[in-house]
Amino acid sequence: MSLVNPVSTWPNPTRSSVFRPKPAILNTTHLPISFLFAGKPISAVLTKEYSHQTSSTFDFKKYMLEKASSVNKALESAVSLKEPLKIHESMRYSLLAGGKRVRPMLCLAACELVGGHPSTAMPAACSIEMIHTMSLMHDDLPCMDNDHLRRGHPTNHIVFGEDVAVLAGDALLAYSFEYLATATEGVLPERIVRVIAELAKCIRSEGLLAGQVVDICSEGVSEIGLEHLEYIHLHKTAALLEGSVVLGAILGGGNDEEVERLRKFARCIGLLFQVVDDILDVTKTSVELGKTAGKDLVADKTTYPKLIGIEKSREFAEKLNREAQEQLVGFDSDKAAPLIALANYIAYREN
């Protein structure tokens, strides 16, 4: 049985051969599953076992609040209320509904890490959040996850209707590229072209959309393995986190070696984000999450807790966190502090 259709290139995950698709976005740095069961106690994440620690003087809560405030102001300005009112109201409803702004923060922090000024990467940070918001709006639709709650509020299609929600998501996607191209200042044109290409690669049919479609086609399919699940999440979740970090690094003036190290960092925390999300889905309530809890179980989706249990999932999360932080060794410790703290925040978030 094919996951997609008779002419699909996707291997059957139930065959004895290893499920190992080779999309361009993975390149040669595909994360191995072999380290999954070699984890140490989860408490080790916050000990000196890590080779790169957050500065004791770094106030992560203050950093998050300041960056989120800056991003929210930039988003408010970027997407104004204008004609046609209905679609712009829909766009702003979801875009300005709050959220942790993790992706924009990653973009800004990566820019600063390589020596750039955060204002240089702010348009890119906003563009990434527009795309992330679009993906949530579409993911919540009845034809997808059919969710009624997002960030503690009714989902977009509940408020504006399915037709407007689809179009508003499309509008955010299109505008994200326009805004990135026209609002970025003080950057060489070739770097702007490069970040536009990187952003497109992250969401194309071999990026975020690949993870989404394989996830949909995998619902109800038995015997889905770890590599299949990893492929879904490296694309559906990690791809946009990767884009966030890589765009910031390029706009900040990072060299190729720095960009690739940060790309690996982002892939690790991207997969980490989803592993933690899977854990939270079965351990938290809808009120605690601000979205519908337990929906993966209802949809019979394969998750890390379902495959390996909650404790092994937590060990895997610890491994990914360590792997991510290893990529930051050699960077200025003060400038790396936000990314280290963000990795730990993703690992230990409660919603």
For residue 130, give every residue at least 6 positions away whose Cβ sits within 8 Å of its Cβ, in sequence order, or none. Answer: 75, 78, 79, 95, 172, 173, 175, 176, 179
Region 179-202: mean pLDDT is 96
Tell me the pLDDT of the chain averaged across its residues. Answer: 82
List domains and CATH numbers for the chain. 56-348 (1.10.600.10)
Q: What is the C-alpha to C-alpha distance for residues 313 and 33, in angstroms, rounded to an integer?
A: 12
- pLDDT of 51 reads 38
Helix (H, G, I), strand (E, B) or coil at 72: helix
In tens, the pLDDT along 56-83 reads 588 999 999 999 999 999 999 999 999 9
Q: What is the C-alpha to C-alpha distance for residues 81 and 88, in angstroms, rounded to an integer?
A: 6
- pLDDT of 320 reads 95
Residue 13 pLDDT level (bands cut at 50, 70, 90) = very low
- pLDDT of 80 reads 95
- pLDDT of 349 reads 84
In tens, the pLDDT along 261-287 reads 999 999 999 999 999 989 998 876 666
Lowest mean pLDDT among 90-94, 216-220, 264-268, 328-332: 216-220
- pLDDT of 5 reads 35
In tens, the pLDDT along 154-168 reads 999 999 999 999 999
**Structure-token pair, residue 43:** 């408490």
Q: Which long-range contacts (CB under 8 A, 24 or more apart) does 289-294 make?
A: 289/351, 290/149, 290/150, 290/151, 290/152, 290/351, 291/147, 291/149, 291/150, 291/151, 291/152, 292/147, 292/148, 292/149
- pLDDT of 208 reads 92
